[in-house]
Amino acid sequence: MEMQLGAMLHVYKGEWGLPSIDYECLRALCLLRFTRCPMDVETNANPLRSGAGKLPYLQVGNEKFVGYRQIKRVLDLEGYPIDVRLNAKQKHLSTTYADWVFTHLHAYYHYFLFGEPNNYDTVTRGLYAKRTPFPFNFYYPATYQREALDVVQVLGGFDINDKIDKHEAEYLVMNAKKCVNLLSSKLGRKVWFFGDTYSELDAIVYSYLAIIFKITLPNNPLQNHIKGCSNLVNFINRITRDIFRNEGYSSTKLTKTANTTDDTLTPSERKFLESELNTKIVAGVGAILAMGAFAAWRGVYNQLTTRSSGDYDGIDYEDDELEEGLD
């Protein structure tokens, strides 16, 4: 297809072996890779270049298609529809289940990634800030928090700007656990939710659960619950390993973490190494600043001393005058 040649999908870079850190991006990537659509993926994307200030977006020539829904429509038109191999009943069930998963997991995802203040400050804000160019990284992650405010207000019934003890997250957690249980029993021992073929439901469930399962948040009650459902863990790991194995950066990320001695370290050791690096950088910058300041101070001091000692140094002065006179 000639249109595919210039097409490029822009997403956030991944983490923890996943191809992307963002639900919407991961969902769009799933569409692409499940249907084996030959399209390039750009991971160093600038969200502000999409026109809507958000990732993912698909660039075809000069046209931009922002967001999952528009990307899906383009892929449908281009001959890569995701549910083409399902029968009629499965197609309908895929949409109903996808909608149901949305109502049960969307608020949980937004609350625990962006709404919970500790999670947001220690993990999520940094994740998004690192993937956004300076100086937008200071401002940009907060737009996600504002979005989460609406989502939690509508679907969870409380305000995330309230004090933390007023957050009624228990309801969200309960709903999410119910959803995970049902998905686990629905999946059973099958490869995909509808047997041998992928569907949109697989893409959506994978995108929500893979991020919730892999992310390293201080407070994430669903993570352990997913660990208890071994078939869902297998489902997540299998898709990450098989479908996204050749995913440019994710594979380098995967091999990097797999091949170096990094994986023999415990998370706390790794954190220590990272913090040591940070300390080195801070110390280096501090040392340079101190030296600079010292040099400047010395320079000024020297000038002052030469000028003040100039009164005593009559010979130099006379030499200068002599030279000037000879010229």
Positions in the binding site for another protein (CB under 8 A): 69, 88-89, 92-93, 95-97, 99-100, 102-103, 150-151, 153-159, 162, 166, 168, 170-171, 174, 182, 186
Min separation Cβ 204 and another protein, Å: 13
Min separation Cβ 292 and another protein, Å: 50
- For residues 205 and 193, what is the distance between their CA atoms, to the nearest angstrom? 10
**Helix, strand, or coil here: 42?**
strand
Note every long-range contact of 17-21, with CB atoms under 8 Å and residues 24 or more positions apart, other chains counting.
17/214, 17/240, 17/250, 17/253, 17/254, 17/257, 18/210, 18/211, 18/214, 18/240, 18/244, 18/250, 19/240, 19/244, 19/247, 19/249, 19/250, 21/127, 21/128, 21/131, 21/211, 21/215
- For residues 174 and 169, what is the distance between their CA atoms, to the nearest angstrom? 9
For the chain, list the strands marked E by DSSP: 8-10, 40-42, 57-60, 63-66
CB nearer another protein, residue 154 or residue 300 = 154
- Sequence-separated (6 or more) residues with CB below 8 Å from residue 318: none
Min separation Cβ 97 and another protein, Å: 5
**Helix, strand, or coil here: 161?**
coil
CB nearer another protein, residue 185 or residue 305 = 185
CB nearer another protein, residue 159 or residue 262 = 159
Kindly state the helix (H) or strand (E) to which residue 218 belongs, with its residue range: none
CB nearer another protein, residue 129 or residue 149 = 149
CB nearer another protein, residue 235 or residue 244 = 235
CB nearer another protein, residue 92 or residue 298 = 92
Min separation Cβ 32 and another protein, Å: 20
Min separation Cβ 285 and another protein, Å: 43
**Helix, strand, or coil here: 41?**
strand
- Sequence-separated (6 or more) residues with CB below 8 Å from residue 265: 273
Min separation Cβ 256 and another protein, Å: 35
